[in-house]
Amino acid sequence: MADIRSNFVGIKSPNPFWLASAPPTDKAYNVERAFKAGWGGVVWKTLGEEGPPVVNVNGPRYGAIWGADRRLLGLNNIELITDRDLYLNLREIKQVKKNWPDRALIVSLMVPCEEQAWKAILPLVEETEADGIELNFGCPHGMSERGMGAAVGQVPEYVEMVVRWCKQTTRMPVITKLTPNITDVRQPARAAHAGGTDAVSLINTINSITAVDLDSFAPEPTIDGKGSHGGYCGPAVKPIALNMVAEIARDAETAGLPISGIGGVTTWRDAAEFLALGAGNVQVCTAAMTYGFKIVEEMIEGLENWMDAKGHATLDDVIGRATPNVTDWQYLNLNYVTKARIDQDQCIKCGRCHIACEDTSHQAITAMVNGKRHFEVIEEECVGCNLCVNVCPVEGCIDMVPLAAGALDKRTGETVQPVYANWTTHPNNPAKVAAK
């Protein structure tokens, strides 16, 4: 059996699945239930500074995007950080850690961007014996308008400054949570690294309005006829999160910096993809809010079974395996040629491949052959774009077949070359460099 125990910046947990800082980790009751269900760790919902807690709205807090089958694809959240008393949270954190010493317990923090505010809260968290802290530089709504959350995360100089304050003050590992609401996520990651962070976590939620009520003409969720932008999460954000994780993992300035991957993790496969791109563990929120805490059982079993089937003994055999294969577009092999192939035995003759190709691509799939409904690839027109594969409702019915070196590409009339060649040396590139 594969060993999926995790050691993330010295924080040990029985598996790499942590609950992210969010409504599911708001109090001891939830966290205890999560640990009983099998979660390896929890990031406690973000704590603020001492004094009156923040005030949340008393109405709808979520907007949603659904698929055709009502499956939740994305969730928009306008809830703020914890609205519970700081000391109540601290007492509960201390007790939960005592009850579950083998689980990772991280405390998310967000206080004003002032040195004294950070240095005041850190000793209080240390006293709970939590395993580490996560600096919330990602929340895009409510708190950012007050100069916290994403307002800090979008300014690399502030990120480095606050991380440095925390590292000078606490013995606990510091995880810096990054905002995706920025042009280049590598910049705050580099700043956190320069400040001494032990790890980064990403992504936090994405600024969004998920819908507009066309009767009231107000954004959803609607509070007394008005709406606000919120933080978008769930399966729909996974591609964005994967890219940002990969960007940091392969950046020369942050290479080797531990990453906690967040964003749309719903299945074991999602988690494995994050790990393969360089994340040391994953954090989950929307999947738990949709299906309940016991979804972690499927994640654990699925990851173990896949690792066993592939011969991966530990998480280290998986972490970062895909990172070297992520490259810039200009380095992709332009001599690699594929053609679509339709399995006629599996084809249900729905015609989606034809109409997608005919209307929006390269007119490379027939609709009729010899007077009969028949869908077949016209190799002379096929550019290998694989749109047909993605719109086909039958998995495996259409695949992409690479042409061997020396074969004739009927579209171009040229022979497929056996050597690697990319845009940097292509004759059409006005800035081409000499081939080595």
Crossing angle of helices 238-249 and 268-276, rounded to 10°: 30
Cβ(293)–Cβ(33) below 8 Å: yes
Judge residue 304's burial from the number of C-beta atoms within 10 Å of its C-beta, 0-12 exposed, 13-18 middle, 19 or more buried.
middle
User: Which of 113, 139, 233, 397 is flagged as catalytic?
Assistant: 139
Q: Determine the distance from the C-alpha atom of residue 371 to the mean position of all C-alpha atoms in its chain, rounded to a whole number.
A: 48
From CA 307, how far away is CA 316, in angstroms rounded? 11
From CA 154, how far away is CA 135, in angstroms rounded? 13
- Count other C-beta atoms under 10 Å from residue 155's C-beta: 17
From CA 111, how far away is CA 148, in angstroms rounded? 7
- For the chain, give the secondary structure using H, E and C: CCECCEEECCEEECCCEEECCCHHHCCHHHHHHHHHHCCCEEEEEEECCCCCCCCCCCCCCEEEEECCCCCEEEEEECCCCCCCCHHHHHHHHHHHHHHCCCCEEEEEECCCCCHHHHHHHHHHHHCCCCCEEEEECCCCCCCHHHCCCHHHHCCHHHHHHHHHHHHHHCCCCEEEECCCCCCCCHHHHHHHHHHCCCEEEECCCEEECCEEECCCCEEECCECCECCCEEEECHHHHHHHHHHHHHHHCCCCCCCCCEEEECCCCCHHHHHHHHHCCCCEEEECHHHHHHCCCHHHHHHHHHHHHHHHHCCCEHHHCCCCCHHHCCCHHHCCCCCCEEEEECCCCCCCCCHHHHHHHHHCCCCECCEECCEECCCECCCCCCCCCHHHHHCCCCCCEEEEECCCCCEECCCCEECCCCCCCHHHCCCCCCCCCCC
Is 350 catalytic? The answer is no
Nearest to 23 by CA among 83, 90, 95: 83
Q: Which residues are catalytic?
A: 139
